[in-house]
Chains A and B, each alone.
Chain A
């Protein structure tokens, strides 16, 4: 892959994959550093990139591994919490009700098994196809579909339960 091809085909993924880095590292600065390191790694692996079937998935995998290395190195956040979602500080949705529902979903995702949480984030937040997710998590598409379906159903049930509980309290 030439310099020009890399700039056109790979660098634009930095913006798409940034939310994943931020979710994993829970910090803007650390996520930015991880993205820079990942792009450097990708440039070093540019010969492999040409034969890559799912380039987007490959970029996601490199960023994910860089973030995991960073977490191991710094030991500030445990590996088990690598699916931790951050709360946007400068969100325009500041109403109490919105914040409550936000926390509700955050809690519901936090309670999911790690594999399900990872799949649902890659699908709904990062907007990846089943094939791309399967390539990232090292599984097959059918299993990813099953994980996603289970994860969504679990989240829906949890939100409904939490809503029902809150309605009773009122």
Chain B
């Protein structure tokens, strides 16, 4: 009689949320094995069935997954950085080549102009020729 009374009190405390976590676990385990009232037994069986699931991965497998993903991520970001460096290097190199080509062209024009000027001036006239360079302009001054 007293046991039943105790069980009822325990049950009431459980449903009202007055038990500690350990007491609740004990209560549910007891109800699943030796059921008392229908709501207690039904709920205890339900909870037990919900806990009967297990992860099929070991800690080592989880850790290997983490390492594998980290390595993959490292490779991914590494390849992005390498690609960026490659592109930047190529652009820099192409820029240098372009600059050299431009200088060569300008020099050729200058040479051609100077040749033209020297051809036009009679070497015996003793004309003084001054060539002034100003940015993209070539100024040729001759004095008789």
Interface, chain A (partner B; CB < 8 A): 7, 11-12, 14-15, 18-19, 22-23, 28, 31-32, 35-36, 39-40, 43, 85, 88, 91, 93, 98, 101-102, 104-106, 121, 123-125, 127-129, 145, 148-149, 152-153, 155-156, 159-160, 163
Contacts and interface: CB of A to CB of B under 8 A. Distances in A.
A159 B39 CA distance: 6
B16 A35 contact: no
Contacts of A91: 49, 52
A31 B51 CA distance: 14
13 contacts: A11-B59, A35-B62, A36-B57, A39-B66, A85-B50, A88-B49, A91-B52, A121-B50, A123-B24, A124-B24, A148-B17, A152-B14, A160-B38
B49 A93 contact: yes
B34 interface: no
Contacts of A18: 53-55
Nearest to A109: B46
B117 interface: no
A75 B52 CA distance: 27
Contact of B43 (A7, A128, A155): A155
Nearest to A160: B39
A63 B66 CA distance: 15
A113 to B, nearest CB: 16
A36 B62 CA distance: 6
Contacts of B24: 123-124
Given A88-B52, A88-B53, A104-B42, A124 B47 contact: yes
Contact of A152 (B15, B51, B66): B15
Interface residues of B, number: 32
Contacts, number: 101
B57 A32 contact: yes
Contact of B16 (A22, A43, A153): A153
B45 A101 contact: yes
B53 A19 contact: yes
Contacts of A159: 38-39, 42-43
B62 A14 contact: yes
A133 to B, nearest CB: 10
A36 B65 contact: yes
Nearest to B55: A18
Interface string B56-86: 1101001101100110000000000000000
Nearest to A148: B17
A101 B46 contact: yes
Given A14-B59, A91-B49, A106-B46, 8 more contacts: A14-B57, A15-B55, A18-B53, A31-B55, A102-B42, A129-B21, A148-B17, A149-B17
Most B-side CB within 10 Å, residue of A11, A23, A153, A156:
A156
B25 interface: yes
B116 to A, nearest CB: 71
